[in-house]
């Protein structure tokens, strides 16, 4: 079983919050009414919540760091659902359920904002345009998950890893700008569990991409050197 919950909760959100890099920036009203109730600071190995925990009436927005969302079967074997990072939401699929359906574990130092669902909905009701943008954001996340599931059903290992790297690297940089390094705080075992591959297969494919000059591998990270080639392999171009 996972370790006991070890939250490092921050102080209640201040009246004048730091909005830098907050994914809610485009939704908040001009009067500064921030919907964030509390920020949690998690160290590597901390759980934000566990499977079967009682569901609080709030959803979580990842501000920084990366978490592992996973389930455990009756034998204690994990099934990894996702690796949510900055700007991603957690807990929206638990709304209305009595218990959490998964665990959320910090893979590195994370900051996560707790947003009461009722407060968020009240804010969006006052701002129809913000509600539309919020709906589009959730729709993009659902489409991303569906795309991944389609790839995992029948794709060869290289395509799965290529799609994973593109997802972790994020959007292509603007013209004239260089690729930014991307982090991989998860283990090869975790990547393999997520993609339905063995850790050795993940390592073999990454090494092949490096030998082709497509990626530069770093400790817990990578840099895309040939995004177009990887995108073509992932069938995303």
Contacts of 157 (CB under 8 A, 6+ apart): 195, 197, 201, 202, 205
- Does the model's pTM come out above 0.75? yes
**Distance, CA of 77 to CA of 70 (rounded, Å):** 10
Mean pLDDT, the chain, rounded, equals: 84
Confidence of residue 71 (pLDDT cuts 50, 70, 90): very high
**189 to 68, 161, 194, 218: CA distances (angstroms):** 13, 13, 9, 17
**Interval 47-59: pLDDT, tens:** 999 999 999 888 8
**Distance, CA of 139 to CA of 137 (rounded, Å):** 5
Confidence of residue 163 (pLDDT cuts 50, 70, 90): very high
Q: Indicate the helix (H) or strand (E) that contains 10.
A: strand 9-12
Confidence of residue 236 (pLDDT cuts 50, 70, 90): low
Strands 47-49 and 58-64: unpaired
Confidence of residue 31 (pLDDT cuts 50, 70, 90): low
Pairs from 119-125 (Cβ < 8 Å, separation ≥ 24): 119/35, 119/37, 120/35, 120/59, 123/27, 123/28, 123/29, 123/33, 123/35, 124/27
11-25, 74-88, 99-113, 122-136, range with greatest mean pLDDT: 99-113
Going from the N-terminus, what domains does the chain have, and what CATH number goes with each? 9-146 (2.60.120.10), 155-233 (1.10.10.10)
Confidence of residue 99 (pLDDT cuts 50, 70, 90): very high
Confidence of residue 73 (pLDDT cuts 50, 70, 90): confident
Q: Taking residues 77-102, what's their average pLDDT?
A: 89
88-97, 142-151, 214-223, range with greatest mean pLDDT: 214-223
Which comes out higher in pLDDT, residue 11 or 62?
62
**Residue 187: pLDDT over 70:** yes
Residue 158 neighbours by CB distance under 10 Å: 16
Q: Is 208 helix (H, G, I), strand (E, B) or coil?
A: helix
Which comes out higher in pLDDT, residue 24 or 136?
136
Q: At what angle do helices 188-195 and 199-211 cross, to 10 degrees?
A: 100
**204 to 122, 161, 196, 210, 211: CA distances (angstroms):** 50, 10, 14, 10, 11
């Amino acid at each position: 079983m996972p370790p006991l919950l070890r939250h490092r909760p921050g102080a209640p959100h201040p009246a004048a919050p730091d909005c830098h890099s907050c994914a809610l920036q485009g939704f908040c009203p001009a009067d500064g009414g921030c919907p964030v109730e509390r920020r949690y600071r998690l160290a590597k190995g901390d759980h934000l919540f566990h499977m079967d925990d009682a569901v609080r009436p709030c959803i979580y927005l990842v501000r920084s760091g990366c978490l592992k969302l996973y389930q455990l079967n009756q034998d204690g074997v994990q099934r990894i659902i996702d690796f949510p990072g900055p700007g991603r939401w957690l807990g929206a699929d638990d709304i209305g359920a009595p218990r959490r359906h998964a665990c959320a574990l910090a893979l590195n130092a994370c900051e996560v904002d707790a947003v009461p669902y009722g407060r968020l909905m009240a804010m969006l009701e006052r701002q129809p345009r913000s509600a539309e943008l919020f709906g589009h954001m959730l729709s993009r996340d659902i489409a991303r998950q569906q795309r991944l599931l389609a790839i995992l059903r029948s794709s060869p290992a290289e395509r799965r890893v290529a799609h994973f790297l593109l997802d972790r690297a994020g959007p292509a940089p603007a013209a004239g700008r260089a690729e930014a390094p991307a982090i991989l705080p998860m283990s090869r075992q975790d990547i393999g569990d997520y993609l339905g591959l063995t850790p050795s297969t993940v390592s073999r494919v990454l090494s092949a991409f490096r030998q082709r000059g497509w990626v530069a591998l770093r400790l817990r990270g990578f840099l895309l050197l040939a995004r177009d080639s990887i995108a073509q392999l992932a069938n995303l171009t």
